[in-house]
Amino acid sequence: MPTLHSKILGEGQPLLILHGFLGMSDNWKTLGNKYAEEGLQVHLIDQRNHGKSFHSTEFNYDILANDIKQYIAEHNLQNCIVLGHSMGGKTAMQLACSYPELVNKLLIADIAPKFYPPHHHEIINGLKALDLNTISSRTEASNELAKHISNAGVRQFLLKNLYWVEKGKLAFRFNLDVLAERMEQIGENIDASATYNKPTLFLRGDKSEYISPLDTDTIKTHFPNADIQTITNSGHWLHAENPKEFLEKSLTFIKS
């Protein structure tokens, strides 16, 4: 089985960071360096069909969690702390529930253990409308994407995935065709009977609707030892929108 691509920073207890849908490990580089400075060995991991990791038609949370299990074995890691955002948070939850012996602490960023209806159609359609055979620059790609996606921050986030395959030829690092087909799987919940009893922290953005007060009972059912805290002045990309508070609250939990 292919190995997941990762960037490893620092030395100490392993902290595995799992990016969200259409993201990649590079999205966490700045915070990753901060965690490394605090004495952690940070593993910024590209999940399958994302970043520099392998592409595959097989894609669901059991498979994604098993990828991380294999990664932990390959790198001979012990007492891992696992941090996941959005889709990566679902992977992290499934990993902790399926293989609790591998996860010492769990940190989930702005996602709850529940089903989310597919809601990325606008983004997928915008990306599919780009003809990378005729687009010859990032600026041109951004201008074309703006016709479909008005939010400049979202466009910038997506276009970080563009790279030069060869001179004059751009491509996306993520596997757009498979991810577009698997939209239902992205929203799926973890297994109904899944539980993880070790320390868990859910961080939610105060402007985000991904975790609501109504989700507390569901979170506690799956994660009885969970604490839920709010990051101010932030939406779904809370780690990028308020990195200072995110770092402070996550480090307090990690070091407690």
Residues 136, 137, 150, 177: which is the catalytic one? 177
Report pLDDT for 163. 93
Domain end position, chosen among 166, 181, 196:
181
For 36-122, list the strands marked E by DSSP: 40-45, 80-85, 103-109
pLDDT in tens, 96-114: 999 999 999 999 999 999 9
pLDDT in tens, 112-152: 999 998 878 889 999 999 999 899 888 999 999 999 988 88
Helices (H) and strands (E) in the chain, counts: 11, 9
Residue 201 lies in a domain: yes
Residues 6, 25, 53, 86: which is the catalytic one? 86
Say if residue 87 is in the same domain as residue 110.
Answer: yes
Say if residue 125 is in the same domain as residue 106.
Answer: no
Average pLDDT over residues 171-196: 92
Q: Which percentage of the chain shows pLDDT scores above 70?
A: 100
Domain that holds residue 136: 121-181
CATH number at residue 229: 3.40.50.1820
Closest CA to 181 of 124, 114, 98: 124
Say if residue 100 is in the same domain as residue 209.
Answer: yes
Catalytic, 236? Answer yes
Residue 12 lies in a domain: yes
The band of 179, judged by pLDDT with boundaries at 50, 70 and 90, is very high
Say if residue 111 is in the same domain as residue 125.
Answer: no
Residues 50, 236, 239, 250: which is the catalytic one? 236
Give the total number of structural domains in the chain: 2
Catalytic, 53? Answer no
Q: How far apart, in Å, are the Cα atoms of 243 and each of 79, 108, 235, 240?
A: 25, 15, 12, 5
Catalytic, 177? Answer yes
Scan for tokens 């994407």, then name that residue.
Answer: 145
Say if residue 57 is in the same domain as residue 83.
Answer: yes
Residue 1 lies in a domain: no
Residue 68 lies in a domain: yes
